[in-house]
Amino acid sequence: MTALANKQRLCFGILFLHFTVWAASEFRPGEVWNDAGGQPIQAHGGGILVHSNVYYWYGEDRTPRGRGVVAGYSSTNLFDWKGAGAVLTRDDLPRIDGLPTFMERPKVIFNARTGKFVMWMHLEQRGYRFASAGIATSDSPIGPFKFLKDMRPITNGFDFSEADESDQRQYGGTFRDMNVFVDDDGRAYVFYASEGNWTMYVVRLNDDYTGPELPTVENKTWARLLVRQMRAAPAPFKANGRYYLITSACTGWTPNAANYSTAENILGPWKTFANPCVGTNADTTFGTQSTSVLPTPGKPGNFIFMADQWKPRELSDSRYIWLPFALKPDGTFTIEWRDHWSLSEFP
């Protein structure tokens, strides 16, 4: 082989290696996303905690007949995820009145005061009438998490019927699709669909992040928002002192159009805007439902919209849709579909 041929071969190899590394660092929404062990990531309905410059991704483990209910993953670049296994197992969940429970949409926040990692989840039983919060804690971001308690944070009356199938008159407003948020001052909040999914609640948490701040006082420590709008899948974030909340309609596993709301105070009032998604399939949020919004590291005003593309007949194969978006000068934003994209695209 000639020297020129060797040089050309070397250049091609370097080019191929560069392309391979570049391609591996791209997000490809809707494609199978494997962890470092080559297994499909199981983090459905999940969210990301950033702690000590490491990203931790938690979500529902939908592996058929698996013992885990919450799987955890860690990453330093948002692309390559190392599995931590089951950070919460089926055996960790309580039995209520002799019946088993299951959970959905786990989210984890870190309490700097206590040094604890606190997980909130929608805890449920067959029939979806239990509709309560589940709280678990751990000394480590990769668990194991110990289940602490179940509760409905706001035990108001609101003239619920005595015949209410979820016993809201007795135990308080239902707790279903949810998310947690830690504000700049260290105060934490939980957002959740309540009143039979008709109204969203936002509730300030206590110093330990393990329950509501007491005493609960409407419009001072908690508030009703999106009243009678039947919204679910809350994904809160904050930018330039303003609070944002992306939600979906309540249509079961069937995708629908998202919308978003903003407020100057987390307890409201909130103003609602139309679907931020644009382009083909925007009317179904690209066939997805929101789970969380992640501020893009080192890129103020830029965010990653996280959503699930549910496959109800094969939930373990539900796909993750991550899409970039940026706030406009007026504080609005749009989300566009991308077949592939990378963090380098952010300004």
Average of pLDDT values for 39-56?
97
Strand-pairing partners, residue 115, are none
Which pLDDT tens digit goes with each residue over 92-121?
999 999 999 999 999 999 999 999 999 999
- What average pLDDT is seen over the chain? 92
CB 141 within 8 A of CB 87: no
Q: Which two tokens stand for residue 291?
A: 């789970």
State mean pLDDT over 293-320: 96
**pLDDT of 7 strictly over 80:** no
Would you tell me how many other CB atoms lie within 10 Å of the CB of residue 165? 12
**Phi, psi for residue 169 in degrees, rounded to 5:** -65, -35
Predicted local confidence at residue 15, as pLDDT: 34
With 50 as the cut, is the pLDDT of residue 204 above it? yes
| pLDDT tens digit sequence for 52-92 | 999 999 999 999 987 789 999 999 999 999 999 999 999 99
- Give yes or no for residue 1 having a pLDDT over 60: no
pTM here is: 0.92
Nearest-angstrom CA–CA distance, 110 and 113: 9
**Is 309's pLDDT higher than 90?**
yes
Provide the pLDDT confidence category of residue 45 given band limits of 50, 70 and 90: very high
Max alpha carbon distance in the chain (Å)?
A: 89
Considering the segment(s) 40-342 as one domain, its CATH architecture is: 5 Propeller (2.115)
- Whether 12 has a pLDDT exceeding 90, the answer reads no
The whole-number pLDDT of residue 65 equals 81
Structure confidence at residue 253 (pLDDT): 94
Q: How confident is the model at residue 4 (pLDDT cuts 50, 70, 90)?
A: very low
What residues pair up with 260 in beta bridges, in sequence order?
A: 246, 273
**Residue 33 reports pLDDT greater than 60:** yes
